[in-house]
Structure 1
Amino acid sequence: MSLIKSLNSGVSGLKSFQTKMDAIGNNISNVDTTGFKSSRVTFSELMNENIGGSGGGESAPSLSNQVGLGVRVASVDRDFSQGTIENTGKTTDLAIEGDGYFVVNNGSQDLMTRAGNFTFNKDGNLVDQTGNYVQGYNANDSGNILGGGATDNVQVDFENVLEPQRTSEVNVGGNLNSNTSTAQIVQAQSSFTDSSGNIASSTTQLNDLSQTNTNFDGSETITVNYVDGDGNAQTADYNLTGANDTLGDVVSGLNGSIAEGELTLVDGMLKLKSDSLGDSELDVDSITISGGTGDMNTPGFQVTQEGETGTKTMSTTVYDDLGQEHSLLVDFTQSGPNEWDYEATFANGEEITGGAATGTVTFDEMGQIDSGDTFDIEFNPGNGASTSNFEVNLGGAGGTDFTQYSGANTAKVLNQNGYTQGSLVDVRIDGDGRVQGVYDNGQNQNLAQLALGDVQNEDGLEMVGGGLFRATSAAGEVFVDTADNVANSSIQSGSLEGSNVDLAQEFTEMITSQRAYQSSARVISTSDEMLTEAVNLKR
């Protein structure tokens, strides 16, 4: 009888909402499970029974009357949305931000998971909490990784020793102060003045100077008695051309005769500056006047700037084939305007056997290097290693130029590419999943790179327990590659992806499921009472 249908409908409701409660209970119990993806239950009605036509003719609003036979579970779907990423501080705790899955192997097949709570086992294999091997691409001895092919168990040899590397390149950059070396300057102790007491200029005639005692008639000779830079006594003469000669004429004439330096008139004072930089004995003893009738009081002279040679010393450590350290010193000495001599030596006396350990570097008027910007050094390490050679690059490393401006001496060795033997002291993982070894010699080297997997249809993944998924035929093609080749994905080390369960949503669904279950039970009890009334009709 028809009451059986309502009983069956009530039973289907009980069974369906019991399944929904199972899913809700599972979600809530896994609210703190790493990488857990919540599930939901969707329903569909069972087939309908046609109980007869509703009317006759094509004008009837409905040609049949149908009654449903209950409800069934249509699907149990998983929500693959991103879970909250939580910091843990443990290097091997990994979280994927974006798409993709970690790939692990249980010994017989590859599985995928979002739970990245990994660790290294006693053999150096990166494994999950159940011992499944995390898959990736191991680097070769040079630290090169070839991804995209067949994956392997990610493994780190914690006894690994990084071989030493000989220095082949040294990079120098920064600024050499253009005033590092100075020229000797000798200056008069007093200024020439005119008859009005004003500072004399180059156009002031000798006969207009207040220092002139007797006017010049133009037949006089003015002689500067001086000592050159090497300490030799020298003289420079100027023969007047007439009684109207000026101070400028005298300075110009003496410069044509003087063997070293340049004579100038600055604020009425005579100044002699050496042509060369560095230590000098340049000095002016006196100025004398001979011939003619002219006579004047000439000033005494003093050294106002000592000539000094300035050197900028740079140092670094270079390495031979055995990884032995050698202390390299390079001295840059300013030998002239825009000109620097360099000399390379070793602090412990290693023999330089070739290359260009000495030379000259020149700069243009804009302070830019215009000579060769590299030189080679070859030396004998003297400890059983073979002869080593390296190239010194002046500027161009990391965007730092080698210049000569009037500023601080900032030139230094920026870097060199050699290192000694190193022992593995730590491991870190970057955003592309590269497992990098950190060595006690300050070097880092790639050891492996984690693989990420992705599928065309995530709903086709089958849950096999432990936060692991297996790709079924419904998932489509499985793509496995490195994280940097998986779009919109990156790996965060020291973090874990939490469950994406929304407790507020689950409690709401629980309430509605409970009421629906109660209502289905009420349908059954009501149908039973109606059947009882029908049975009692025979009485």
Structure 2
Amino acid sequence: MGIFDALNTAVGGLQAQSFALQNISGNIANASTVGYKGIGTSFEDLVPDSTTPNKQVAGGVTAFAQQTITTQGTVSSSTVATNMAINGDGFFSVQKPTSITDNQPVFSGTTDYTRRGDFQVNSNGNLVNGAGYYLMGVTVDPTTGNPTGNVPQVLQFQNNFIPAQATTAVQYAANLPTQPKTAASTSAATGTITAAGGLNPADFSSNPLAIGTTSYLDNTTTGTPVNNKLGAAITSATLLSGAAGTDSIGTDFAAGDTITVDGQTITFMASGASGNNQINVTDSVGTLLGKIGAITGVTPTISSTGAITLHTGTSQSLSASSSNTTAFSALGLTSGLSQTRTPSSGNGAVVANDMTAFTNESISGGAVTAYNAAGTPINLQLRWVKTDSASLGGAHQDTWNLFYQTSTTASGGQTAWVNAGTNFTFASDGSLSSPTGSALTIPNVSVDNLSLGNLTINISSGALTQFASTSGAATINQIQQNGFAAGQLQSVAINNSGIVVGTFSNGQNIDLAQVTLSHFNGTNYLKALDGGAYQATTESGAAIIGASGTISGSSLEGSNTDIADEFTKLIVTQQAYSANTKVITTANSMVQDLLNVLR
């Protein structure tokens, strides 16, 4: 009976090779199918019964399918924002509707699994892949960004609406120039806060500095008119005892005489004077006034009548005396004079009448569109003023105030800008030394009668600095607020974290859902369904939510079929099939020979 067994075995071989050919054909056909996992063929020999090993004969063969689900396909980029691919282990959870009722899908509740990620949004707002499977995930709280549950549901994004959110905080980062180039600074007297790019409260009808801040207005002392002469300004007058038509100090002061201003002594020298604390007796009155100005911060002036005006300048008070009272009197000044600067308390506001001075003595701090509780857009304008400068010497330090515009239509004595109420001081290295916290709260912010309430200005560490700038303007590195108007969903996209992000008509990008991944202990034992989906089996085990793989947005995983490898298998299968047919031909010939013997 060996010949007939050979025939049966050869037929089994043909069936097994046919099964392998069918798998090869399917793999090649699906070489371009998204997420397709090729099916290999596993051959198993069938051993006939035998009483002893030496009587054992070769058996038949059968073929089984061998899944390659765990083999990764090539991931390529896609122009569709809702396409995604899985790198590594994991499956998308999906459901396929059993029917459509009133244009809405009806699901059986059975969850399937796939790696086919060519999802797109349909008319109902569902994410559906090319095989008709609906994506599942968990929704995300748009405010906190946290998942609202842990059980995946079929996702739907249709007519999503977000209410308006009032602005409560502004994230701010900027560099303020060491020397602001304001309109007023170019024409201001040397040594004044205005010349240093700052704001002089004396130029305002009401002091705009922060409430509780005391500043000192510049006071002056004017001497009696005498023959003082500064350069060629007075051509017919004489200067003290100097010759007519000259501006030399002459013989009134002698070498060794002194003038003391605010505790600093200027000594007269016969010649060779140097620095701000020495002057030659042959120098001009202009030179002397320059030396005094270097001390007070404001250079004294001479009127057309020859009267000298001294300024309290950057000090709270002015004092001046001389060891030569006669010569000092000849300047029209009284030795031992003193003058105290007038204190002025800040009211924290700029009225409309002072707008010109405010604009000329401040720099822009940027602007941002904020929103009130109703979602009304509000243009929040900011400006910086320098209220003190380390360049003035002594105890002075670089100090700034921040203002916001409260009214664009203010007039007369109405408030146009409001001081945020904080003194921002900077160290010599440009770092912010005060305030030390990261947040500043401005109470009761209102712009053109639209209320924003309490507004927090968040300034992270190192975000606000004062470094030299050739432009003399503030460099705004960041100015962002957290409010927005109401909005309607316009489109969705999936990022690399597997988050479905919605883009709304108000320009906001809000997290809407989290795509969940699942894995199996026996992945290659899943049952394949149409459309690249799989069903859990006893051998695969139940789905386990969570996977080690990661999601790539705007990407697709291709088929894991290797065409070259499949062609190689095709050749081997063809040869094996032909060989089995040869066995059948040979066995048939042998049977015919046997029948011929009987005849």
Deviates most, 506-515 or 244-253:
244-253
Residue 403 in 1 paired to residue 479 in 2? Answer: no
Of 561, 568, 577, 1:517 maps to: 577
* Contact preservation (8 Å) 1:177, 1:409: yes
Residue 66 in 1 paired to residue 56 in 2? Answer: yes
The residue that corresponds to 2:592 in the other structure is 532
The residue that corresponds to 1:197 in the other structure is none
Any residues of structure 2 matched to 1:353-368 within 5 Å, and which?
Answer: 357-368=420-431
AA at the equivalent of 1:526 = T
Of 469, 486, 503, 2:534 maps to: 469
Residue 122 in 1 paired to residue 126 in 2? Answer: no
| 3-state DSSP of counterpart to 1:535 | helix
Change (3 A) 1:248 1:150: same
Change (3 A) 1:283 1:401: farther
- 1:404 and 1:238 map into 2 onto residues whose CA distance is 34
AA at the equivalent of 2:277 = V
Pairwise CA distance, 1:538? 2.9
- 1:117 and 1:99 map into 2 onto residues whose CA distance is 18
Pairwise CA distance, 1:464? 1.8
Residue 104 in 1 paired to residue 94 in 2? Answer: yes
The residue that corresponds to 2:501 in the other structure is 436
- 2:287 and 2:118 map into 1 onto residues whose CA distance is 81
Change (3 A) 1:148 1:459: farther
Residue-by-residue CA offset, 1:405-456 (whole Å, 9 max, x unaligned): 3324334362221222223222111012211111232211011121212111
Residue 92 in 1 paired to residue 158 in 2? Answer: no
Residue 152 in 1 paired to residue 153 in 2? Answer: yes
Change (3 A) 1:165 1:352: farther
Change (3 A) 1:151 1:537: same
* Contact preservation (8 Å) 1:352, 1:377: no
Of 285, 293, 314, 1:272 maps to: 293
* Contact preservation (8 Å) 1:318, 1:326: yes
- 1:14 and 1:248 map into 2 onto residues whose CA distance is 114
Pairwise CA distance, 1:271? 6.7
- 2:147 and 2:266 map into 1 onto residues whose CA distance is 85
Of 325, 329, 347, 2:381 maps to: 329
- 1:237 and 1:66 map into 2 onto residues whose CA distance is 122
**Structure 2 residue runs without a partner (length 5+):** 97-106, 192-228, 232-247, 281-285, 309-323, 331-358, 390-397
Pairwise CA distance, 1:463? 0.8
Pairwise CA distance, 1:250? 9.2
* Contact preservation (8 Å) 2:170, 2:457: yes
Residue 378 in 1 paired to residue 444 in 2? Answer: yes
- CA RMSD between the two structures: 4.2
* Contact preservation (8 Å) 1:86, 1:496: yes
| 3-state DSSP of counterpart to 1:171 | strand
Residue-by-residue CA offset, 1:281-305 (whole Å, 9 max, x unaligned): 842567998759xx9xxxxxxxxxx
Residue-by-residue CA offset, 1:357-394 (whole Å, 9 max, x unaligned): 445332233333333362413135677x766221224x
Any residues of structure 2 matched to 1:157-172 within 5 Å, and which?
Answer: 157=158, 159-172=159-172
Any residues of structure 2 matched to 1:192-271 within 5 Å, and which?
Answer: 247=273, 251=277, 270=291
The residue that corresponds to 1:132 in the other structure is 133
| 3-state DSSP of counterpart to 2:432 | coil
**Structure 1 residue runs without a partner (length 5+):** 53-62, 191-210, 225-234, 255-262, 296-307
Structure number with the higher strand fraction is 1
Residue-by-residue CA offset, 1:462-485 (whole Å, 9 max, x unaligned): 01222111010111241224xxxx
Residue 311 in 1 paired to residue 362 in 2? Answer: yes
* Contact preservation (8 Å) 2:493, 2:501: yes
| 3-state DSSP of counterpart to 1:329 | strand
Any residues of structure 2 matched to 1:68-83 within 5 Å, and which?
Answer: 68-78=58-68, 80-83=70-73
- 2:266 and 2:432 map into 1 onto residues whose CA distance is 44
Residue-by-residue CA offset, 1:57-114 (whole Å, 9 max, x unaligned): xxxxxx6231122212254333542222344412223222222111111322111111
With normalisation by structure 1, the TM-score equals 0.74
With normalisation by structure 2, the TM-score equals 0.67
Residue-by-residue CA offset, 1:102-149 (whole Å, 9 max, x unaligned): 111132211111112222232212223454321101123536342772
Any residues of structure 2 matched to 1:292-311 within 5 Å, and which?
Answer: 310-311=361-362
* Contact preservation (8 Å) 1:453, 1:478: yes
Aligned residues with identical type, % of pairs: 27
Change (3 A) 1:461 1:264: farther
- 1:444 and 1:464 map into 2 onto residues whose CA distance is 36
The residue that corresponds to 2:234 in the other structure is none
- 1:488 and 1:470 map into 2 onto residues whose CA distance is 19
* Contact preservation (8 Å) 1:176, 1:409: yes
Residue 19 in 1 paired to residue 84 in 2? Answer: no
Provide runs of 4+ in structure 1 moved above 4 Å.
Answer: 211-224, 235-241, 243-250, 263-266, 284-292, 349-356, 380-383
Residue 500 in 1 paired to residue 560 in 2? Answer: yes
Residue 455 in 1 paired to residue 520 in 2? Answer: yes
- 2:81 and 2:190 map into 1 onto residues whose CA distance is 66
